[in-house]
Amino acid sequence: MKINHKSLTRYFQGKSTDKEKDAIQEWAESSSENWNMFVRERALFDAGVLLGGGTNAGALSDKSTGKSREHIHKFRRLLSIAAAAAMIIFFIFIARDNYSLRQQGQQLQKIAVPSGNRTNVTLPDGTSVWLSSNTSLSYPSSFTGAKREITLSGEGYFEVVKSNKPFIVKTSKYNVEVLGTVFDVEAYSNSDRFVTNLYEGTVKIYKPEDDKAVFLSPGQTAESKNGSLVVTSTVGTEDYMWKDGLIYLGDKSFGEIMSAFEKFFGVKIIIENDAVNSLSYDGKLRITDGIEHALKVLQKDFPFKYEINEDGDTITIR
């Protein structure tokens, strides 16, 4: 729908359809330029209505009181113009205040989850998000535009409320767009890894600067490999056990387990013991028990020793 003087006038007259009203409201809220144009058109419309009412009386001159009535008419017209001008100024101030409030609604809220923790967040539209360790999420205090956009660095499990407004998860690698569905996204900004698991509904994965997109169906996983997205069948629901406070290590190699520990506990792990690379482990560990407890559990099945540096941010496996 093209928004112009004619369509806005129909809106102010109350003649727009519900679809036209929604389109004009979304257009007005999408930018400050659009909102300022909306304000100006509304002010001119109201001024026109007021001035039109002031000119209906016509000239009130007759033979006996022609000049005096003409002066009265001019005076009343000047009063109408002044009132219209006052209304325009008043409306613009009110509109600016309203737009300021709308802009405040766009102020971003940010949540950062520290190592070894997780948290649950309910977004303004009712969407539920579980955030994993070392994850940050930015979102507006209200979704007032045509889209529901948030920014994720890390891993999040989303249960998105259905709406006609697309829900978009922006990451440093790809954007994930849905209307209402259940999915998991892993996209840490300090890692090349990008994974999306879809459990319900449909998702669209794309790069903002690229027209190409990948669509997932329930039970599918998209993972970045060599600069492209590869779609496979989702192994199972164990991948998001972290939201229940568990690390699932289903038949993973020692190196894969250490990569998971780096993600969940926020440490760097250096493996100097080549003997452990051919071993695998199947089990679950509780995140809140900490990394030292996890390493000691693995030592029962793996022949290794470990050393933690003074800062506690680097672990060497020997």
CATH of the domain at 267: 3.55.50.30
Tell me the residue range of the domain where 258 lies: 245-317
pLDDT band at 156 (very low <50, low <70, confident <90, very high): very high
Taking the C-alpha atoms of residue 291 and residue 155, their distance in angstroms, rounded to an integer, is 19
- Looking at the structure, do residues 24 and 79 belong to the same domain, yes or no? yes
pTM of the model: 0.61
Taking the C-alpha atoms of residue 190 and residue 311, their distance in angstroms, rounded to an integer, is 20
Domain final residue, candidates 87, 105, 123: 105
Domain final residue, candidates 213, 238, 263: 238
- Looking at the structure, do residues 43 and 70 belong to the same domain, yes or no? yes
Between helix 291-299 and helix 254-265 the angle, nearest 10°, is: 170
pLDDT band at 239 (very low <50, low <70, confident <90, very high): low
Burial class (CB in 10 A: 0-12, 13-18, 19+), 212: exposed
Higher pLDDT: 198 or 239? It is 198
- Reported as a single tens digit per residue, the pLDDT across 199-219 is 888 899 998 887 788 999 888
- Reported as a single tens digit per residue, the pLDDT across 304-316 is 888 888 888 899 9
- Looking at the structure, do residues 99 and 156 belong to the same domain, yes or no? no
- Quote the pLDDT of residue 44: 73
- Looking at the structure, do residues 88 and 17 belong to the same domain, yes or no? yes
- Reported as a single tens digit per residue, the pLDDT across 260-300 is 888 888 888 898 888 787 777 777 888 888 888 888 888 88
- Looking at the structure, do residues 203 and 97 belong to the same domain, yes or no? no
- Quote the pLDDT of residue 163: 87
- Quote the pLDDT of residue 203: 92
Does residue 67 have a pLDDT over 60?
A: no
In this structure, of 49-53, 122-126, 166-170, the range with the lowest mean pLDDT score is: 49-53
> How many domains are contained in the chain?
3
